[in-house]
Every structure is written in structure tokens, then in C-alpha cells.
Amino acid sequence: MNELAAQSEPVQTQQTSEKPVARVISIVNQKGGVGKTTSAINLAASLAHLGKKVILIDVDSQGNASSGLGVAKNEVEGTVFDVLVDRAPLAEILQPTPLETLKVAPANSDLLSAELHLGGQEDGKKRLSQAVIDFFAHAPHELHPEFIVIDCPPSLALLTINAILTSDSLLIPVQCEYYALEGLTDIMSSATLLRQSFNPSLSLEGILLTMADRRLNLSHQVETEIRQVYADFVFQNVIYRSVRLSEAPSHGLPILQYDPESSGAKAYLGVAEEIIQNEAKSPRPWPFRAAV
């Protein structure tokens, strides 16, 4: 949990404080189709595979993280929308996935009206973080996750702000393409402002290079450029383009189960290992100050 949330944590959660509370990581980029959901599904699954208890919260009305883990998003009783409008606690909407230690809080098109519902409300930005705090206060200890991964929509509007306010860190997937560095500069400056306004203790989990192509010089150039600027903030593991990765969601499976020997499965597992190592370095810094 982030510092802001921890400050308002109810007393009863302190009793469980000998066990570390979850590390909350939001997968954010306002650009569409850069691999946010693919990364959210496969990182959550890889962390679970490595023995961690994980909850994936789907905060995108497209519900792709839910369906990609085999959840029939339009048939479930409750979704993240119900949690945000205080109709259900987080614990009640959790769905099982193909991995025993990974649960998903699903979303569907109901979430389209969330901005409308929450927009005018004073605590509209904090609904998700409050729901997570309540979860740790009231859900049985054995349900407490070690990691929460949040899949965000391609915008920096209210739903993403809810995610940022809940998070310890951001993971930013960047597609290896022309103008990737410019795009990354934009998202980093927006994220720096959001951090300053809403969650000053937020750290940068890392920049993840996605959809790289081993055969293209362009991919190598983009990787070199981004590593020159962001150095250690870029994950060592790179996600290459792979048909297997794009096929897996239609089977409702993470790549680790769809094709465990594939390069995509190994790369996401490698990123999950880097994330676990990052925890030891906590608190992770933030690369920039916001312009004043």
C-alpha cells in the first residue's frame, strides 16, 4: 500500500503488520495498444507462478484483462464498477483464474459510466484505494495478496487516477516503434505531474519495452535510445513480438500456461523476477521532478 493509503489505514490492519502489505503496481500508458493488458495478465500470472499471492484489478471497461484470464466478464455477479460505487466490497467480486494464487477483480462495460458516477464526488479519486484498505481490514488474512497489479485504460482520467492513488509504483509499457522516446517523454511528464498532485510517494517500477522485433534495426535503436535516457529504470527483459502472446488471451490463459516454453513466457517471468528484486531496493526513486 502506498504511504497516503497507509496513513489512513484503520487500526485493525496494524495487527497483521508483521506480514508486509501488498505492493501495488499500476500498468499505465495513456497510449492505446502498447501492451498494458498483455503485461498486466502475464506479470500477475508470472508473480503467482513464482509463489506470490496476487490480485489483478481490471480498471478498464474493455475488460480484456478479465477475459484474458478466462473470466466471463458479462456473466459475473459483481465487477470493479460495483466496488467503485460502494455496492460491493473487493473481496466479494474476486474471481478465480487458471492459477490458484491469482485472483482477478473483473471489469466490463459497466465501468464506462464510472467517470460519470464518481466525477462529482469529493472522494471520487480515492474509491479504489479505500476499497483496497477495506479489503486488508476485513478480508481473512489468507486472502491477502503480496502483489496487486492494476490494468489501466488508455487514458489518464479518473479511473487511472484511482489506480495511481492506490499504487506504490507505476510500470510503463512502451512499444518499440518510431517516436517511442517522444511518447515516453510525454507519459513520463504526465505521470510526474499526477504523482506530484496525487501520490508523492509513488515510485517508478520500471519502463517495459514491448512488441520489439529482433529482426528490425529500429527496435534495437529504440531500445538503445531509451536505455541511454532512462538507464536502470528500463527492465532488462524485453518483450518481443510473438504470435503466441497475442493468441493466449483468446484461450483465457496467461502465456505461462498457453505456451510455457515460448520466449514471451520466459521474458514475462524474467520481468516478474526483476520486480521481486526491485522490492529489496524499496523505496525506488522517481526519475524526474515536475516542472514548476
Ligand X SMILES: Nc1ncnc2c1ncn2[C@@H]1O[C@H](COP(=O)(O)OP(=O)(O)OP(=O)(O)O)[C@@H](O)[C@H]1O
Of 36, 53, 103, 126, which one interacts with Mg ion (CB under 5 A)?
Answer: 36
Closest approach, Cβ 28 to ligand X, in A, equals 10
**C-alpha cell read off for 179:** 517516436
Nearer to ligand X, 34 or 44 (CB): 34
Residue 286: how many CA atoms within 13 Å on its side-chain side? 19
Nearer to Mg ion, 5 or 65 (CB): 65
Binds 245, which of Mg ion, ligand X, none (CB < 5 to 8 A, cut-off by type)? ligand X
Query: With binding defined as CB under 5 A, does residue 73 bind Mg ion?
Result: no
Query: With binding defined as CB under 5 A, does residue 103 bind Mg ion?
Result: no
- Positions touching ligand X (CB under 6 A) are 32-38, 60, 62, 64, 154, 210-211, 239, 241-242, 245-246
Nearer to ligand X, 194 or 211 (CB): 211
Query: With binding defined as CB under 5 A, does residue 37 bind Mg ion?
Result: yes
Name residue 212's beta-bridge partners. Answer: 240
**Whole-angstrom Cα distance, residue 73 to residue 7?**
34
**C-alpha cell read off for 25:** 503496481
Binds 242, which of ligand X, Mg ion, none (CB < 5 to 8 A, cut-off by type)? ligand X
| Residue 45 backbone dihedrals phi, psi, to 5 degrees | -65, -40
Nearer to ligand X, 22 or 34 (CB): 34
**C-alpha cell read off for 235:** 527492465
First to last CA, the chain: 28
Q: C-alpha distances in angstroms, 162 versus 48, 167, 219, 231? A: 24, 9, 33, 29
**Which residues in this chain contact Mg ion in the complex, by CB under 5 A?**
36-37
